[in-house]
């Protein structure tokens, strides 16, 4: 197999993405197929159609690539959670966030990466710790919003927020896996039942 520097690729092949984004897209494909530990730099080079020397100019190691992907995940999570600040009932806002999250996990080529990230978060590794930190940040954002909703009387006053968050995040993680097993099911079709479950859990208005 011949490796090609991206400088030599046809312009149309690389125009939509920067070279760093091109590498990260290739790495996501490799990690989705092989996992973080089994995927090699040579595999990523082959997927990106770059020579090792060219790729290393942008990312000196696989750890650097994983760190960049983790930062992308953090930014994507932050953008998704921005919907929590929208007007409207708390149950509806959380439902919107959940469906955006599920839609992001539906990529037919890299959707397995979300499952890999969840699995890696259970391991006591540098990769696992990085994704655990993102998980903690997401949980904290939800905690603040739920505390505000409870202070307004929008959700049950006696709700155990920590336990409710465990259930909410567990529903999200479980649905990511279920939609990988049922790829033909549009995530949006889950909305009415997901909203009903979230409202019931929070003791919130289901409107």
d(CA 48, CA 55): 9
Q: What is the CATH code for 66-202?
A: 1.10.357
Q: Is 2 exposed, middle or buried (0-12, 13-18, 19+ CB in 10 A)?
A: exposed
Look up the pTM and report it: 0.80
Q: Where are the domains of the chain?
A: 16-60, 66-202
Fold of 16-60: Arc Repressor Mutant, subunit A (1.10.10)
> What's the pLDDT score for residue 147?
95
**Cα dihedral sign for 47, 53, 54, 59?**
positive
> What's the pLDDT score for residue 2?
30
The pLDDT tens digits along the chain (207 residues) read 333 333 333 333 443 468 999 999 999 999 989 988 899 999 999 999 999 999 999 999 998 999 899 899 889 889 989 999 999 999 999 999 999 988 887 777 777 888 788 877 887 778 788 888 888 999 999 999 999 999 999 999 999 999 999 999 999 989 988 888 898 899 999 999 999 999 999 998 766
Whole-Å CA distances, 116 to 128, 159, 181, 187: 10, 32, 15, 20
What confidence tens digit (pLDDT) does each residue in 135-155 have? 899 999 999 999 999 999 999
> What's the pLDDT score for residue 114?
81
């Amino acid at each position: 197999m011949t490796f090609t520097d991206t400088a030599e690729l046809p312009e149309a092949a690389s125009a939509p993405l920067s070279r760093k984004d091109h590498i990260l897209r290739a790495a996501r494909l490799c990690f989705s197929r092989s996992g973080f530990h089994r995927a090699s730099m040579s595999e990523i080079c082959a997927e990106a159609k770059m020579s090792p020397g060219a790729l290393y100019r942008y990312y000196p190691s696989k750890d650097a690539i994983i760190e960049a992907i983790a930062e992308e995940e953090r930014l994507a999570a932050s953008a998704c959670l921005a919907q929590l600040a929208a007007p409207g009932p708390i149950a509806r806002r959380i439902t919107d966030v959940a469906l955006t999250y599920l839609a992001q996990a539906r990529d037919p080529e890299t959707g397995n990466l979300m499952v890999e990230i969840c699995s890696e978060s259970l391991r006591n590794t540098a990769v696992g710790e990085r994704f655990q930190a993102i998980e903690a940040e997401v949980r904290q954002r939800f905690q603040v919003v739920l505390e505000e909703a409870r202070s307004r009387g929008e959700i049950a006053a006696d709700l155990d927020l920590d336990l409710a968050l465990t259930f909410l995040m567990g529903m999200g993680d479980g649905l990511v896996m279920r939609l990988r097993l049922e790829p033909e099911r549009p995530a949006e079709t889950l909305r009415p039942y997901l909203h009903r479950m979230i409202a019931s859990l929070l003791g919130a208005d289901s409107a």
